Chain A
Amino acid sequence: AQSVTQLDSHVSVSEGTPVLLRCNYSSSYSPSLFWYVQHPNKGLQLLLKYTSAATLVKGINGFEAEFKKSETSFHLTKPSAHMSDAAEYFCVVSDYKTSGTYKYIFGTGTRLKVLA
């Protein structure tokens, strides 16, 4: 069965230091993978997505992620954290169902805290 695991429920970094949010997935097919950000009381905003093109994907606000098929990982990184990056981050896989449709599977989220 398809699944997404976000390895850390909470991550704290100091402003100006690198960010690493980890995501592993399992899929029977070639998945599409996404990272979304959610600020308090808001909807989810797309940061970036991978759809079988370049394995290193660049997104908005300086974030990027690398698809590693051998490790079934899609970790999100940013070289230098900003206070405004403090939010909840979700890793999502879009995968093929046996019914012939696609389904979005969400990780449980990682709350990023940025310390001044």
Chain B
Amino acid sequence: DGGITQSPKYLFRKEGQNVTLSCEQNLNHDAMYWYRQDPGQGLRLIYYSQIVNDFQKGDIAEGYSVSREKKESFPLTVTSAQKNPTAFYLCASSMADRAGNTIYFGEGSWLTVV
């Protein structure tokens, strides 16, 4: 089945540690996105990529980094510079930019600082 796979589902980070969340899609979508969701709140865009080897900062990129070396993969690294990383992280993808493209989501990953 086509879809978006995020791993791990639950991840714990120690102070000062970098962690990486994986996102893989087999939908042949050009665009991929990372969102952060805090409990009881909406989604905030961290980074997005419209094509391989290119990505753009979203609204809350500080303390995060990404790469897009393959069309199918868009990993997110939460660096030690992100002071409040505990949240639910959602990866998404869509066809190349045009009106009406549906954005599809993975099942999400929980990151907790311990």
Contact = CB atoms under 8 A, between A and B. Distances in A.
A47 B71 CA distance: 26
Interface of A: 30, 32, 34, 36, 41-46, 49, 51-52, 90, 92, 94, 96, 100-102, 104, 106-109
- Give the top 4 A-B pairs by smallest Cβ distance, nearest first: A51-B100, A43-B105, A108-B42, A32-B100
21 contacts: A34-B103, A36-B105, A41-B88, A41-B108, A42-B107, A43-B6, A43-B90, A43-B105, A44-B90, A44-B92, A45-B105, A49-B100, A51-B100, A90-B42, A101-B97, A102-B101, A104-B45, A104-B103, A107-B42, A109-B41, A109-B42
B99 A94 contact: yes
Contacts of B105: 36, 43-45
Contacts of B90: 43-44
A60 B1 CA distance: 19
A96 B99 contact: yes
Interface residues of B, number: 24
